[in-house]
């Protein structure tokens, strides 16, 4: 398959084990798997652990479907920075004759894209993206800003890979902070430390690193260098499979980017700053399975007490 990212032997072996044990379910498409009951019990348990840790923040809960109005997506600048990862939604709006022709081409597994038209929806690339326009519609932020718990929504990134830790569709548990620059930066940094402690509590060897997003092209390399230089993004990495540790959580400080995009202001009219953190729930589940074994009923008691108190 064109564009398929290859797996190391270790990653390929781990994927076979996950499939053989029914933790992941093959669909025939790289990076797109069903989840067995054992896998979901672990993923949901860690999601609940994050909720318990986040409870003192008193964040407002918001939940969105894994689709985003195209106009919000276009305004966000995502296509400039990550055009290679975007997923758009097309649908049929033709005649009966065109429907017959489309079915004939599709039945032969030909290219039937010419019968489709772009809709007003795209797939959500990050769980925080619907939050910003929703908050902007409310008007100026209250004093101290807002904390939002955006839940563990499915997100999509077009990045087919044979590595089981690099999925095209996955759950991202995300929190967002909006407010004054100092407040937002402090929140981001405090969550970086809290998240490392949470991962350590479930027996994962996590360490933080300054990171950069996978920006596209030559200009993207300059953006990534600037992002690293200003330490706008941190990641927590753990060993899963392969020669290098894998990022399982990220902590991003956007400065006033989304405020400028959507018109999010403080009460005095100044642009709000925003930050977000995201836990990759499938990657953390894979890390737990890799570290403690494929049968969670035989994990160390110190770990299971954290996940199933």
Whether 38 and 175 map to the same domain: the answer is: yes
- 83 with 96, same domain: the answer is no
Residues 211 and 228 in one domain: yes
Task: For residues 248 and 100, state if they share a domain.
Answer: no
Residue 172 domain flag: yes
Query: Each residue of 253-273: pLDDT tens digit?
Result: 999 999 999 999 999 999 999
Q: What is the mean pLDDT of residues 17-21?
A: 98
pLDDT of residue 217: 87
Instruction: Indicate the average pLDDT of the chain.
Output: 95
The structural domain count of the chain equals: 2
In a domain, 4, yes or no: no
pLDDT at position 219 is 83
Predicted model pTM: 0.95
Determine, yes or no, domain membership for 72: no
* pLDDT tens track for 22-66: 999 999 999 999 999 999 999 999 999 999 999 999 999 999 999
Residues 198 and 52 in one domain: yes
Residue 4 is predicted with a pLDDT of 85
Sign of the four-CA dihedral 308, 23, 87, 97: negative
Identify the pLDDT of residue 226: 87
Residue 3 has pLDDT above 80, yes or no: no
Considering the domain boundaries, does residue 290 fall inside one?
A: yes
Residue 18 lies in a domain: yes
Provide the 8-state DSSP code for 143: T
96 and 162 share a domain?
Answer: no
As a whole number, mean pLDDT of residues 227-239 equals: 93
Q: What is the pLDDT of residues 183-213, one digit of tens each?
A: 999 999 999 999 999 999 999 999 999 999 8
The string of DSSP letters for 224-269 reads HHHHHHTT-EEEEEE--SSSS-EEEEEEEEEETHHHHHHT-B-TTS
Q: Is residue 2's pLDDT more than 70?
A: no
My answer on whether 205 and 277 are in the same domain is yes
Q: 109 and 163: one domain?
A: no
The parent domain of residue 148 ranges over: 9-67+79-87+125-307
Query: Alpha-carbon distance 81 to 62, whole Å?
Result: 26
Lookup result for tokens 């081409």: 105
Q: Give the side-chain half-sphere CA count within 13 A for 47.
A: 19
Query: Does a structural domain hold residue 2?
Result: no
Please state whether beta strands 116-123 and 67-69 pair in parallel, antiparallel, or not at all (unpaired). antiparallel
57 domain-assigned: yes
Is residue 1, in this structure, part of any structural domain at all?
no
Q: Tell me, what CATH number does 28's domain have?
A: 3.30.930.10
Residue 299 has φ and ψ, to the nearest 5°, of: -75, 160
Residues 59 and 168 in one domain: yes
Is the same domain home to 185 and 241?
yes
The confidence score (pLDDT) of residue 213 equals 87
Residues 190 and 256 in one domain: yes
Of the chain, the percentage scoring pLDDT greater than 90 comes to: 91
Are 142 and 227 contained in the same domain?
Answer: yes
pLDDT, tens digit, for every residue of 130-179? 999 999 999 999 999 999 999 999 999 999 999 999 999 999 999 999 99
């Amino acid at each position: 398959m064109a564009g398929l990212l290859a797996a190391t032997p270790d990653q390929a072996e781990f994927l076979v084990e996950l499939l053989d044990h029914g933790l992941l379910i093959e669909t025939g498409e790289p990076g797109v798997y069903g989840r067995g009951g054992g896998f979901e019990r672990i993923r949901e348990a860690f999601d609940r652990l994050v909720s318990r840790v986040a409870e003192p923040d008193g964040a407002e809960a918001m939940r969105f479907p894994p689709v985003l109005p195209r106009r919000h997506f276009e305004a966000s600048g995502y296509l400039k920075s990550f055009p290679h990862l975007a997923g758009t939604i097309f649908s049929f709006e033709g005649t009966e004759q065109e429907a017959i022709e489309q079915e004939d081409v599709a039945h032969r597994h030909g290219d039937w894209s010419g019968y489709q038209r772009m809709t007003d929806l795209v797939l959500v690339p990050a769980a925080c993206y619907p939050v910003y326009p929703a908050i902007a519609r409310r008007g100026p932020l209250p004093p101290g800003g807002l904390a939002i718990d955006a839940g563990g929504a499915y997100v999509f990134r077009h990045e087919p890979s044979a590595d089981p830790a690099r999925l095209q569709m996955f759950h991202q548990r995300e929190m967002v902070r909006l407010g004054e620059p100092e407040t937002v930066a402090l929140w981001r940094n405090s969550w970086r430390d809290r998240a490392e402690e949470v991962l350590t509590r479930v027996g994962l060897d996590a360490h933080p690193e300054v990171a950069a997003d996978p920006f596209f092209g030559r200009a993207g390399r300059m953006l990534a260098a600037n992002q690293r230089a200003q330490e706008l993004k941190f990641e927590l990495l753990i060993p899963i499979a392969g020669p290098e540790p894998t990022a399982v959580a990220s902590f991003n400080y956007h400065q006033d980017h989304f405020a400028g995009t959507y018109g999010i202001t403080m009460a005095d009219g100044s642009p709000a700053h925003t930050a977000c953190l995201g836990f990759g729930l499938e990657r953390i589940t894979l890390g737990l399975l890799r570290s403690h074994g494929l049968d969670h009923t035989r994990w160390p008691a110190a770990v299971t007490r954290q996940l199933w108190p």
